[in-house]
Structures are given as structure tokens and as C-alpha cells.
Amino acid sequence: MIIRDFNEAKNTERKVADARWNSVRMLLANDGMGFSFHITTIKAGSEHTFHYKNHFESVYCVSGEGSIEDLATGEVHDLRPGVMYALNLHDKHTLRCKTEMVFACCFNPPVTGTEVHQADGSYAAAD
């Protein structure tokens, strides 16, 4: 059994960050669960375009307010606590955060922890 506390993990290398977001990796590929699980916090007023071509991701809003735009269809959906979006079609999307937002995110295949966002908004596939 693995036990991890977000409030401890956020002070370790499990936290990856740039100026506008951070993500605390509660589970990574080497935990052997077949998915990774991240608590991701995004800055108020920021906008992010991602395109996870090599991963499925689900994103559950724990706190905050914002919106998600599906760039294939132009549809915009409000995000608030309890709303989840899932990128079942590897959907290219833009996330806009009105307030600071906290999300519980699952990735399949699991993130290894060393990925960086590429110019196209994706994470590279693991080797």
C-alpha cells in the first residue's frame, strides 16, 4: 500500500511547476498502478492550451472557477467544483482560469515525471 500526503509531497520533487501552474505527482508510472494521479493548481487569470496526443487525461475540478474550450468544435464549458472533463479523443483544448483552480487529474498511460510540455502542447510518449 502506498500512502502519500499532498501537503508533504508539495514540498518535494514530486511538485513540478512553471510560473502559472504546478502539479504534484501523487502517483507516477513507477508506482505500477497503470495510471498516474496528479493534484494540479493553476493560477487565477491564466490561460493554457494543451494537446495530449499520447495520453488520455481526466480532470476533476476540486476548487475554483474557469472554463474549457474544445478547440476542434469551439464549444466552451464552464468549470466549477464537481465538473470533470475527460480528453477521450486526445482533444486539443484551452483552459482558462478565472480564479485559482485545483484539479485532480488522471493520466493513461501514466506520466513518468520527466515529461515537459512540447511546443505543440503535448507530452511526448514514454519510450
Name the residues that contact its own copies, by CB under 8 A. 1-7, 26-27, 31-35, 37, 39, 56, 58, 60, 62, 68, 70, 75, 77, 82-89, 91, 93, 104, 106, 108-109
Closer CB to its own copies, residue 2 or residue 119? 2
Q: How far is the CB of 3 from its own copies (least distance, A)?
A: 5
Q: How far is the CB of 79 from its own copies (least distance, A)?
A: 9
Closer CB to its own copies, residue 42 or residue 93? 93
CB 113 within 8 A of CB 25: yes
**Three-state secondary structure call for residue 70:** strand
Q: How far is the CB of 55 from its own copies (least distance, A)?
A: 10
Closer CB to its own copies, residue 31 or residue 65? 31
End-to-end CA distance of the chain: 27
CB 20 within 8 A of CB 66: no
* Cell numbers for 51: 494537446
Q: How far is CA 110 from the centre of its chain?
A: 12
- Burial (CB count <10 Å: 0-12, 13-18, 19+), residue 125: exposed
Closer CB to its own copies, residue 21 or residue 35? 35
